[in-house]
Amino acid sequence: MKRYGEHRFPGRLFVVEGIDGSGKSTQLMLLHQWLKSEGYGVVFSEWNSSLVVKDTTKRGKKKKLLTPATFCLIHATDFADRMERNIIPLLKAGAIVLCDRYIYTAFARDIARGLDPAWVRELYSFAVKPTGAFYFRVPLEVSITRLHAARSGFKFYEAGLDLGMTEDPDESFRLFQGRIVEEYEKIVPEFGLNVIDATQPIEIQQEQMRELVLSKLERAKQLRVAP
């Protein structure tokens, strides 16, 4: 088993990371559109969890059976399933694979729930290393304002209510996201995530993203023609 393997598959993997409301999904969608228009074989890794894992996760959440440990492990199970059945086959087939959130989300979230940072990193060491990973950095207040405009109320685990920091969902969400941001900031240098300032205009952010993706794709082409 390779650990955080620099994969040798013909495909390329780009991932976006950031807290809710950072605008990462919008940016990934725009990248997808552009790559398609450029004629690349690009796949947005839409994930349909296998039924058995999905049912377990759903039941655990609905009945609030999950502890930080089982929350972490059931999501790691689901991620492994995604890796084995979806991402790796796509990369083998030579696709450009786009993922909205990757292992770094799990690192930040699980460590914010109190799990051992080194252990969580080890747990996910089977994951393929992305060709490029983007972190959309945004002040907490900005993201929360965006979320409030878009939706009403947070879910139990999403708001970190399982940690019992406070009973107020909004306040709990804020505290939990604050912890997650702290973890992300440690992950960025450690795993070489490319930081995008998510307070910039959407177009500027997209330009920065495309530039980096393009450089990686060109390098890939060069590698292929090399003897």
Partner 1 sequence: MKVTNGVILPGMELSDLVGKLIVIEGTDGVGRSTQIALLKEWLEQKGHAVLDTGLSRSGLVGKGIKRAKEGHTLGRITLTLFYGTDFSDRLEHEIVPALRAGFVVLTDRYIYSLIARAIVRGLDPEWVRKVYSFAIKPDAVFYLKIGVDDLIPRVVFTRGFDYWESGMDVYTTEDMYESFRRYQTSMLEQFDHLAEEYKFKVIDATPEPRKIFEKLRAGITKVLEGETHRPAAAHDVATIATPPSAVVPLAHDPPPAPPTAPESVARAAESTEDRMNAALSKVRDVSVGDTEA
Query: Which residues sit at the interface with partner 1, rule CB under 8 A?
Result: 1, 3, 50-53, 55-56, 59-60, 65-70, 73-74, 76-77, 80-81, 83-85, 113-116, 118-119, 122-123, 125-126
Shortest Cβ 79–partner 1 spacing (Å): 8
CB closer to partner 1 out of 70 and 215:
70
CB closer to partner 1 out of 106 and 187:
106
Shortest Cβ 149–partner 1 spacing (Å): 33
Please state, in angstroms and as integers, the Cα–Cα distance from residue 81 to each residue in 16, 24, 66, 74, 176, following that order. Answer: 20, 23, 19, 11, 27
Shortest Cβ 200–partner 1 spacing (Å): 37
CB closer to partner 1 out of 164 and 189:
164
Would you say how long the chain is, in residues? 227
DSSP structure class, residue 118: H
Shortest Cβ 186–partner 1 spacing (Å): 18
Shortest Cβ 207–partner 1 spacing (Å): 37
Contact by Cβ (8 Å): 12, 216: yes
CB closer to partner 1 out of 99 and 115:
115
Shortest Cβ 50–partner 1 spacing (Å): 6
Instruction: Give the list of residues 6+ apart from residue 151 with CB closer than 8 angstroms, or none.
Output: none
Please state, in angstroms and as integers, the Cα–Cα distance from residue 113 to each residue in 109, 132, 174, following that order. Answer: 6, 27, 14
CB closer to partner 1 out of 51 and 225:
51
CB closer to partner 1 out of 134 and 176:
176
DSSP codes, 82-116: HIIIIIHHHHHTT-EEEEES-HHHHHHHHHHTT--
Question: Measured between alpha carbons, how far is 198 from 180 in angstroms, rounded to an integer?
Answer: 16
- 213 burial (CB, 10 Å; 0-12 / 13-18 / 19+) is buried
